[in-house]
């Protein structure tokens, strides 16, 4: 497995996002529930979504070893983050008690999508030339 300078930042971003998805989301729901948790008290939904994101996080960390071999996973993360963030943005605007999410998980999902998209494009276009 060879690492080029072209994918250095992509590898770092994948590792960082993977770590946050795996270990950071639950603490965010505790410390800033208005921006990260859509329910108060016990929530089966929260447990489910944290499990899904923790699993995705593990696979993103694995992909950070050789991103160009995991492009479909990276693009899934980009586009599912855009869709998930878009749905949550609409729900936040429609339900005033969820407006804090626009500055929490919604913004974070759009940031993850943008960073991974830009870095993936750079890493793959550098290889193509």
Where residue 46 falls (left for φ over 0; alpha for ψ -120 to 50; beta otherwise) is alpha
Task: Give the DSSP H or E segment for 118.
Answer: helix 105-128
- The domains of the chain are located at 5-128
Residue 63 corresponds to which tokens in the numbers above?
Answer: 């992909």
Tens of pLDDT along the chain (129 residues) come to 456 677 999 999 999 999 999 999 999 999 999 999 988 788 899 999 999 999 999 999 999 999 999 999 999 999 999 999 999 999 999 998 899 999 999 999 999 999 999 999 999 996 665
Report pLDDT for 41: 80
CB-based contact 31:38 (threshold 8 Å): no
Predicted pLDDT at 3: 60
* Residue among 104, 116, 107, 111 at smallest CA distance from 67: 116
What pLDDT sits at residue 109?
A: 98
pLDDT at 129: 53
pLDDT of res. 73: 98
Instruction: State residue 40's pLDDT score.
Output: 79
Instruction: Output the pLDDT for position 26.
Output: 94
SS3 of the chain: helix, strand, coil, percent, to 5:
85, 0, 15
How confident is the model at residue 1, as a pLDDT? 46
Q: Rounded to whole angstroms, how far apart are CA atoms 113 and 110?
A: 5
């Amino acid at each position: 497995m060879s690492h080029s300078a072209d994918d250095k930042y992509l590898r770092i971003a994948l590792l960082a996002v993977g770590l946050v998805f795996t270990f950071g989301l639950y603490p965010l729901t505790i410390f800033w529930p208005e921006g990260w948790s859509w329910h108060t008290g016990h929530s089966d939904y929260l447990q489910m979504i944290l499990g899904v994101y923790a699993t995705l996080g593990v696979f993103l960390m694995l992909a950070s070893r050789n991103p160009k071999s995991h492009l479909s996973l990276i693009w899934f993360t980009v586009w599912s983050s855009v869709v998930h963030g878009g749905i949550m943005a609409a729900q936040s605007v429609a339900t005033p008690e969820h407006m804090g999410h626009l500055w929490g998980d919604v913004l974070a999902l759009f940031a993850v999508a943008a960073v991974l998209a830009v870095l993936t494009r750079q890493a793959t276009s550098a290889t193509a030339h």
